[in-house]
A and B are shown apart, each in its own frame.
Chain A
Amino acid sequence: MTKNIMIVGVGGQGTLLASKMLGRLLLNEGYDVKVSEVHGMSQRGGSVVTYVRFGDKVASPLIDKGQADFILSFEKLEAARWLSYLKEDGQIVLSDQEIDPMPVVTGAMSYPENLIEKMEATGAKVDAIPALQLAMEAGSVKAVNIVLMGRLSRYFPEIPEDSWMAALDAVVPPKFKEMNEKAFALGRAY
C-alpha cells in the first residue's frame, strides 16, 4: 500500500530539504520511494509542492486529488490551496505562518480569515503549530522545515526517533546539526 505525503509552501522556505530528509529516511527504512519536486520558475516566491510516495512498489511520481495521507504545509494559505489533494481521512500538519501572496500585497485581495477552522469544517484533521517561533527558539528562522519534520514524526510510531535523527544528520551541514536537532525535538514535543 503506497502512502502519500505532500509538502507544500512558498518558494525559498526550504521544502526541498524536508523532502530530501524524508526520502532518505524512508529509503533507510526499506521502502520503495519516489520524490517529485518542482524546480525553475516556481522557486521565485511562488507556490511550491513536493510529492513524497513510499510503499512496497511505487509507480507514479505524482500524488493526485484525494490521495494525500498527509499534507505538510509551511504556510496556512498553501494548505488551503492544496486541500483537494487530501485523502478523506487525511491529516494536515501545518505551520501557522501567514505569507501574503502578491494579490494580497497589492491590496487586490485579502488574506482569507479563519482558514484552519474552515479546513476543519470540511472534515480535514489539522495539526497547526507555531513552527516559525519554534524554529527561532531553536536558533534559526530557516529551521521551520526541521520543526515540521519533528512534528510529522509523531504520526509514524513505527519509525524510531533514531532513524529520523540519522536522516536529519545526513542532510544538514554538521555546523548546524545541534540547532536542527533542537528544532526537530521542539516540533516533535510541542
Chain B
Amino acid sequence: MKELMLGNAAIARGMYEAGCRVVSSYPGTPSTEITEEAVKFPEIYCEWAPNEKVAVETAFGASLAGVRSACAMKHVGLNVAADPVFTISYIGVHGGMVICVADDPGMHSSQNEQDSRHYAKAAKIPMLEPADSEEALRFTKLAFDLSEEYNTPVFMKMCTRIAHSQSVVETGERVERETIPYVKDTHNVMTPANAKVRHPIVEERTRKLIDWAETAPVNRVEMGGTEIGIITSSTSYQYVKEVFGDSVSVLKLGMVWPLPEKLIRDFADKVGTLYVVEELDPFIEEHCRQMGLTVVGKEKLPICDEFSQNMLAEKFGLPVAPSRKLDEVIPVRPPVMCSGCPHRGIFYTLMKQKCTVIGDIGCYTLGSAAPLSAMDINICMGASVSAEHGFNVALGQESQNKTVSVIGDSTFVHSGMTSLCNIAYNQSASTVIILDNSITGMTGHQQNPTTGYNIKGDPAGKIDLEALCRSMGIERVRVVDPYDLAQCDAVLKEELSVDEPSVIISRRPCVLLKSVKTAPALHVDKDKCRGCKACMKMGCPSISMKDGKAAVDPTLCVGCGVCQQLCHFDALCR
C-alpha cells in the first residue's frame, strides 16, 4: 500500500516488517518518533530507557537472546551510548541489531552539530543512510539482514530533513522470525584475551563489507552529463537532483561506512571534475583523497549548517529564483516558556537572587532568554550538576552561596544522578534544583522513570526522587511549589546558606499535560494598574502593555497566578 510517511515512521515500519521484537530508546529530537511509531505495533516490545547507554545495552541483550532488536537516539545520545557500542562491535550480534542515530545539521534542536559518521568508522560498524522515507523503510530491513549476515550491529543514520519529512512509501508485510536459540560462548566475555581474538575478525568483517559495498544496489551510479560527477548521500542527494537534474552524473551512496573503493574510482574515471556534496564534515571527501583522487569538496561547500537547493546552486554559480524582502524590521519569534509553565517561578527566583545558574538540557533552557536571563552555562545532558560541583570546589564559599544547578526530572535520571553521587560523596556544599514537571517536556511529552507510567501510558515503576537523593546521603532535600514565589525565595535562601549539599525539588506538572486542570484567565483591573511593569519581569507571553497598562491575553492565560504575586496593587484579578 502507498502511504505518505514520516522518515522516522518509515524506520519504525521497517523494524516492524523486519520482524524486530525489542526497541529501547531515549527520546531526542530528531529521533523521537522512531520509537513513538514503533510502539504502535503490538508485535514490538518498546520502552523508554533512562538514557541512550542503557537503551543500547538493552537492545543488545535482546539481540544476544536471539531476537531482532533496535534502539534510536539523537547524535549527542550516541556519545552517551558510545561505550557499549564500541565493544558490541567486537562481540557481534545474535539476532540482528540496528542502532538508529539522527544528526541535526543546522541545529534545529541541538547543542552541537557533530557528524555521526565518524562513529561508524571509529567503532567499525557499517552505516546506512537513507535519502527519503522509502529508503528509510527499505534500508532498515536491509540493516537487519546485514547485521545477521556480517555479525555486526548496523547504524541507520538519519538527519533532521529525512527524519522529519514525509514522502511516499510502499509498505509490506511483517516477516516473523524464530528466536535464535541462545548458546553459551566464551567469546561473548570481552576480556582482553577474548577481545584480542575478536579484533582481527572485526577488521576482516570490514573488508568483506567493502566488497559488498562495491556492488550493493544501495550504492548506485546515475549517469548524466559527464563534465561534472558528484558523490553524495542523504538529503544532499535530493538537493543535487533538484539543482542539476540529469545534467551531471551522480554516485549516490546508501552506505556511508565502509566506503567502496573500486566503485568510487570507476565513477571518478568516467567524469571530468569530481565533487563530493555532503553536509557537515568532509567524511566521504577525505576517503576519496586518501585514495589519491582529485576531488572538490569543502573548499567549495560549507562545513557548518545544513544545505539547501539555493545554497548549492549559488556555490556552483547557477541562477536562483529572485526573491523579495520587506523594508521593515520583523521582530523575532523565538520559542518561549509557555503561559503557566512551572519553570517560570523558579527562574524568576534565581534571577531575583542573582544566582549563578548552571543549566541543563530541556524546556527550562529557555530560562536563559530575556527577560529572565537566569542561566549562565549549559552543556549537555546531566552536566549541570557535575559542573556546579567543579565550580564550587574551585571557588569555595564565594560560589557555594550563590550557585545552583537546574536539571529536569528526565535529565536527572538520564545522567544527573551520577553527578549528584559526586556531590554526595565529595561533599561540596552545592545546591541542586530538580525541576520535576512529571514528564519529558521538550521532546514532546514522553514518560520517564519518575512519572509512574511507561511508553504506552500504562502504570509502571516510579522512582521516588526524595528517597533517591536521601539514599545517596543528601540530608537536605526540600520540595517547593514553583507557583509559590515566597516559598521558592525562602527555601532557596536557606539552602544556599547552609554548608552542606542540598537538593530542592521544584514540583508541578507541565501545564500542557492533558491531566492538568488550568484555572480561568486573569484580567487586569485598569483602575488599580499603575503600569509599573512588575508583572512583566517574569516573561509570561500572556501579559503585555497596552496604553500604559498591563493587559492579559485571555486566549493564552491559564490562571497560574504567579503574576499576582508580583503585583503590588492587586491589579491582576481572578
Cβ of B520 to closest chain A Cβ, rounded Å: 16
Stretch at the interface among A77-85, A150-158, A181-189: A77-85
Bound-state CA distance A32–B166 (Å) is 11
Bound-state CA distance A85–B321 (Å) is 9
Contact A102/B309 with A39-B30, A77-B331, A80-B330 known, Cβ cut-off 8 Å: no
> Which of chain B's residues 510-556 have a Cβ closer than 8 Å to chain A?
533, 536, 539, 541, 543-545, 555
A160: Cβ under 8 A from any B Cβ: no
Cβ of A76 to closest chain B Cβ, rounded Å: 11
Residues of B within 8 A of A65 (CB): 310, 320-321, 323
> Which of chain B's residues 96-128 have a Cβ closer than 8 Å to chain A?
108-109
Q: How many residues of A contact B (CB 8 A)?
A: 58
| Neighbour of A34 across the interface among B167, B331, B444, CB < 8 A | B167
Residues of B within 8 A of A39 (CB): 29-30, 32-33, 109, 164, 444
A173: Cβ under 8 A from any B Cβ: no
User: Are A46 and B334 in contact (CB-based, < 8 A)?
Assistant: yes
Q: Does more than half of chain A's interface fall in helix, strand or loop, or is it mixed?
A: mixed
Contact A46/B165 with A104-B544, A118-B326 known, Cβ cut-off 8 Å: no
Bound-state CA distance A62–B30 (Å) is 16
User: Are A105 and B541 in contact (CB-based, < 8 A)?
Assistant: yes
> Which of chain B's residues 217-249 have a Cβ closer than 8 Å to chain A?
235, 238-239, 241-242
> Which of chain A's residues 46-88 have a Cβ closer than 8 Å to chain B?
46-47, 58-62, 64-67, 77-78, 80-81, 83-88
Cβ of B136 to closest chain A Cβ, rounded Å: 12
Bound-state CA distance A64–B319 (Å) is 13
User: Are B238 and A59 in contact (CB-based, < 8 A)?
Assistant: yes
Cβ of A47 to closest chain B Cβ, rounded Å: 4
Bound-state CA distance A58–B331 (Å) is 33
B366: Cβ under 8 A from any A Cβ: yes
| Neighbour of B336 across the interface among A24, A87, A102, A115, CB < 8 A | A102
Interface residues as binary, B1-21 with A (CB distance below 8 Å gives 1, 0 otherwise): 011101000000000000000
Residues of A within 8 A of B29 (CB): 39-41
Residues of B within 8 A of A179 (CB): none
Interface residues as binary, A90-106 with B (CB distance below 8 Å gives 1, 0 otherwise): 00000000001111111
User: Are B330 and A81 in contact (CB-based, < 8 A)?
Assistant: yes
Residues of A within 8 A of B326 (CB): 80, 83, 115, 118-119, 122
| Neighbour of B555 across the interface among A43, A105, A141, CB < 8 A | A141
Interface residues as binary, A106-150 with B (CB distance below 8 Å gives 1, 0 otherwise): 110101100100110011100000000000000001000000000
Q: How many residues of B contact A (CB 8 A)?
A: 61
User: Are B335 and A123 in contact (CB-based, < 8 A)?
Assistant: no
User: Are B165 and A37 in contact (CB-based, < 8 A)?
Assistant: yes
User: Are B330 and A45 in contact (CB-based, < 8 A)?
Assistant: no
User: Are A62 and B308 in contact (CB-based, < 8 A)?
Assistant: yes
Residues of B within 8 A of A165 (CB): none
Bound-state CA distance A184–B102 (Å) is 37
> Which of chain B's residues 304-355 have a Cβ closer than 8 Å to chain A?
308-310, 320-338
B443: Cβ under 8 A from any A Cβ: yes
Residues of A within 8 A of B325 (CB): 83-84, 122
Bound-state CA distance A39–B33 (Å) is 10
Bound-state CA distance A153–B331 (Å) is 31
Residue of B nearest to A86 (CB): B324
User: Are A112 and B330 in contact (CB-based, < 8 A)?
Assistant: yes
Contact A101/B335 with A41-B442, A124-B324 known, Cβ cut-off 8 Å: no
B197: Cβ under 8 A from any A Cβ: no
User: Are B323 and A61 in contact (CB-based, < 8 A)?
Assistant: no
B402: Cβ under 8 A from any A Cβ: no
Cβ of A79 to closest chain B Cβ, rounded Å: 10
Residues of B within 8 A of A42 (CB): 108-109, 335
B161: Cβ under 8 A from any A Cβ: yes
Bound-state CA distance A78–B331 (Å) is 10
User: Are B323 and A44 in contact (CB-based, < 8 A)?
Assistant: no
Contact A41/B371 with A61-B235, A62-B161 known, Cβ cut-off 8 Å: no
| Residue of A35, A88, A118 ringed by the most chain B CB atoms within 10 A | A35
User: Are A24 and B541 in contact (CB-based, < 8 A)?
Assistant: no
Contact A86/B323 with A23-B4, A37-B164, A101-B331 known, Cβ cut-off 8 Å: yes
A33: Cβ under 8 A from any B Cβ: yes
Bound-state CA distance A45–B533 (Å) is 22
User: Are A77 and B334 in contact (CB-based, < 8 A)?
Assistant: no
| Residue of A27, A46, A60, A64 ringed by the most chain B CB atoms within 10 A | A60
User: Are B309 and A77 in contact (CB-based, < 8 A)?
Assistant: no
Cβ of A138 to closest chain B Cβ, rounded Å: 16
Bound-state CA distance A23–B329 (Å) is 33
Bound-state CA distance A112–B30 (Å) is 34
Contact A36/B165 with A27-B4, A83-B326, A109-B331 known, Cβ cut-off 8 Å: yes
Cβ of A2 to closest chain B Cβ, rounded Å: 9
B168: Cβ under 8 A from any A Cβ: yes
Residues of A within 8 A of B363 (CB): 44
User: Are A40 and B238 in contact (CB-based, < 8 A)?
Assistant: no
A7: Cβ under 8 A from any B Cβ: no
User: Are A64 and B308 in contact (CB-based, < 8 A)?
Assistant: yes
| Neighbour of A46 across the interface among B6, B335, B443, CB < 8 A | B335
User: Are B322 and A66 in contact (CB-based, < 8 A)?
Assistant: yes
Cβ of A175 to closest chain B Cβ, rounded Å: 16
Bound-state CA distance A167–B29 (Å) is 28
B370: Cβ under 8 A from any A Cβ: yes
| Residue of B33, B333, B543 ringed by the most chain A CB atoms within 10 A | B333
Bound-state CA distance A59–B539 (Å) is 42
Bound-state CA distance A39–B31 (Å) is 10
User: Are B4 and A44 in contact (CB-based, < 8 A)?
Assistant: no
Cβ of B562 to closest chain A Cβ, rounded Å: 16
Residue of A nearest to B161 (CB): A61
A10: Cβ under 8 A from any B Cβ: yes
A166: Cβ under 8 A from any B Cβ: no
| Neighbour of A60 across the interface among B239, B322, B337, CB < 8 A | B239
Residue of B nearest to A84 (CB): B323
User: Are A111 and B331 in contact (CB-based, < 8 A)?
Assistant: yes
User: Are B370 and A59 in contact (CB-based, < 8 A)?
Assistant: no
Bound-state CA distance A84–B323 (Å) is 5
Q: A39-B164, A45-B338 are in contact. List 17 more A-B contacts (CB 8 A).
A: A27-B3, A35-B4, A38-B164, A41-B29, A46-B335, A58-B167, A59-B238, A60-B308, A61-B165, A61-B235, A62-B161, A62-B309, A77-B331, A80-B326, A84-B324, A105-B544, A111-B331
Q: Give me the interface of A with B, judged by CB distance under 8 Å.
A: 10-11, 23-24, 27, 32-47, 58-62, 64-67, 77-78, 80-81, 83-88, 100-107, 109, 111-112, 115, 118-119, 122-124, 141
The 3 closest A-B pairs by CB, nearest first: A66-B321, A40-B109, A40-B29
Name 15 A/B residue pairs within 8 A (Cβ), A-sorted. Answer: A35-B165, A37-B165, A39-B29, A41-B109, A42-B108, A44-B336, A61-B161, A61-B162, A65-B323, A66-B322, A83-B324, A84-B323, A86-B323, A88-B324, A103-B332
